[in-house]
Amino acid sequence: MLVTDPWFYLTAVPAILIFGIGKGGLGGALGVIAVPMMALAISPMQAATILLPILCVMDIFAIKLHYRMC
């Protein structure tokens, strides 16, 4: 299901950027506000469902980079 609501994109894009910055270590625990921020426009279950694959891909790249440096 494609979300066509512009309010969703106005909340989701900054939420995902904040989530990535927090995951990278620059924002500390700032990434925990991503799901509640996206829940302003969609249901919390949908927000978590959207963020889970992004988190998995970020973890795969982090693991790959970690083993390349070792």
**pLDDT exceeds cutoff 80 at 43:** yes
**pLDDT exceeds cutoff 90 at 3:** no
Rg (CA), the chain: 13
For residue 36, give the nearest of 55, 11, 6, 3 by alpha carbon: 11
pTM reported for the whole predicted model: 0.76
| pLDDT of the residue at 66 | 87
CB of 29 closer than 8 Å to CB of 22: yes
| pLDDT of the residue at 1 | 67
What is d(CA 14, CA 27) in angstroms, rounded to the nearest whole number?
13
pLDDT in tens, 20-35: 888 877 777 888 898 8
Q: Structural domain boundaries of the chain? A: 6-69
What is d(CA 23, CA 17) in angstroms, rounded to the nearest whole number?
10
